[in-house]
């Protein structure tokens, strides 16, 4: 296991390779897809064969990222994962196929598990796209409008459109550069931040209707059961936006979303306000993530998952009061 310190060293590694498979994480978001497809385009522009692979279906709102990147036929010789902190996050298919074979991990999660032979992690990057952009430049590749769209998508979606505390001056400057390189920022923002699918709108309505205030209104919690997914015609891929809602209520320090997986267990997403460390809280329940956004898995049924969560929240608030 090698830690790579600079984007140029990561680029040197890629330059030597061909037939490169790029893995994005399951339930793909704008950052992992932006990284994956932008890097794929850059590698192909160098004459290399490269594909992007995702265990799960890619939501249609990301169609513009994939356009023109048809699957190439080759046997992978070098495997890189982008925006993937842990092989568990690859999703079932790619975890089974590739978990022990990953050559390079390009990431920004401080919780990266160093599962790859070589890893570059920039925990100060708001999005993995910040790291991938630097790698693409070190590859000597032009940032085409398509690549710019991918990187811009990663920068904007991982920061709530430059809203969150992870934004740095570099994030904003890179976004400026992507617009200059041809990224269609306004159109991307409309799709990502101003449009709700009908199923998402229905899901949001159900979630707000069942939002509970807990611990003297310091927590707000949304619960999404499989019944709610069925009733609204929505699915897990639409939960990212939901996870942001509970923390938005004035006075709430910890926003919680519990969603039931098809197997009856629960995925918990925490969003906190400073100084509460979401990652630390989730690590006590076997999970991890960032300081203000983290997650964990809890065993179902709902009553059980809730019990574990409530116990951990109570312990947290009790220790705060000491």
| Residues that bind its own copies in the complex, under the rule CB under 8 A | 160-165, 167-170, 172-173, 175-177, 179-180, 185-186, 189-190, 193-198, 201, 204-205, 208-209, 211, 217, 247-251, 273-274
Give the shortest CB-77-to-its own copies separation in angstroms: 38
Between 135 and 175, CB nearer to its own copies: 175
Give the shortest CB-139-to-its own copies separation in angstroms: 23
Give the shortest CB-286-to-its own copies separation in angstroms: 28
Contacts 24+ apart (CB under 8 A), 95-101: 95/55, 98/21, 98/23
Between 172 and 302, CB nearer to its own copies: 172
Give the shortest CB-251-to-its own copies separation in angstroms: 7
Instruction: Using DSSP, state whether 242 is helix, strand or coil.
Output: helix
Q: How far apart are CA 120 and CA 106, in angstroms?
A: 5
CB distance 222 to 268 below 8 Å: no
Largest interatomic CA distance in the chain: 61
Q: How far apart are CA 244 and CA 48, in angstroms?
A: 39
Q: How far apart are CA 234 and CA 22, in angstroms?
A: 28
Sheet holding 78-82, edge to edge: 2-3, 118-121, 104-107, 78-82, 20-23, 50-53
67: number of Cβ within 10 Å: 11
Give the shortest CB-206-to-its own copies separation in angstroms: 9
Between 46 and 201, CB nearer to its own copies: 201
Between 117 and 273, CB nearer to its own copies: 273
Between 198 and 284, CB nearer to its own copies: 198
Give the shortest CB-84-to-its own copies separation in angstroms: 26
Instruction: Using DSSP, state whether 321 is helix, strand or coil.
Output: helix
Residues whose CB falls within 8 Å of the CB of residue 197, separated by 6 or more in sequence, listed in order: 61, 234, 238
Give the shortest CB-282-to-its own copies separation in angstroms: 20
Between 2 and 190, CB nearer to its own copies: 190
Between 67 and 198, CB nearer to its own copies: 198
């Amino acid at each position: 296991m090698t830690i790579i310190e600079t984007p140029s060293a990561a680029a040197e590694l890629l330059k030597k390779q061909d037939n490169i498979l790029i893995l994005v994480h399951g339930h793909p978001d704008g950052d992992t897809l932006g990284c994956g497809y932008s890097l794929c385009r850059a590698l192909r522009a160098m004459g290399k064969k490269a594909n992007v692979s995702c265990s799960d279906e890619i939501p249609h709102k990301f169609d513009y990222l994939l356009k023109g990147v048809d699957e190439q036929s080759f046997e992978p010789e070098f495997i890189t994962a982008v925006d993937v902190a842990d092989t568990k996050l690859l999703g079932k298919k790619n975890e089974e196929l590739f978990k022990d074979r990953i050559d390079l991990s390009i990431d920004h999660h401080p919780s990266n598990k160093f599962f790859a032979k070589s890893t570059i992690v920039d925990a100060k990057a708001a999005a993995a796209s910040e790291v991938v952009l630097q790698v693409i430049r070190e590859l000597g590749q032009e940032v085409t409008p398509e690549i710019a769209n991918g990187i811009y998508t990663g920068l904007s979606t991982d920061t709530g459109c430059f809203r969150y505390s992870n934004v740095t001056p570099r994030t904003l400057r890179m976004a400026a550069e992507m617009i200059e390189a041809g990224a269609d920022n306004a159109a991307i923002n409309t799709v990502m931040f101003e449009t709700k699918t009908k199923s998402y709108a229905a899901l949001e309505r159900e979630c707000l209707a069942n939002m509970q205030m807990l611990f003297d209104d310091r927590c707000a919690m949304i619960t999404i059961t499989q019944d709610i997914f069925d009733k609204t015609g929505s699915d897990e891929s639409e939960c990212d936006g939901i996870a942001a809602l509970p923390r938005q209520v004035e006075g709430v320090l910890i926003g919680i979303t519990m969603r039931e997986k098809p197997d009856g267990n629960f995925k918990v997403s925490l969003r906190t306000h400073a100084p509460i460390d979401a990652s630390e809280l989730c690590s006590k329940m076997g999970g991890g993530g960032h300081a203000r956004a983290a997650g964990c898995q809890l065993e179902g049924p709902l009553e059980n998952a809730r019990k574990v969560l409530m116990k951990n929240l109570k312990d947290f608030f009790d220790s705060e009061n000491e």
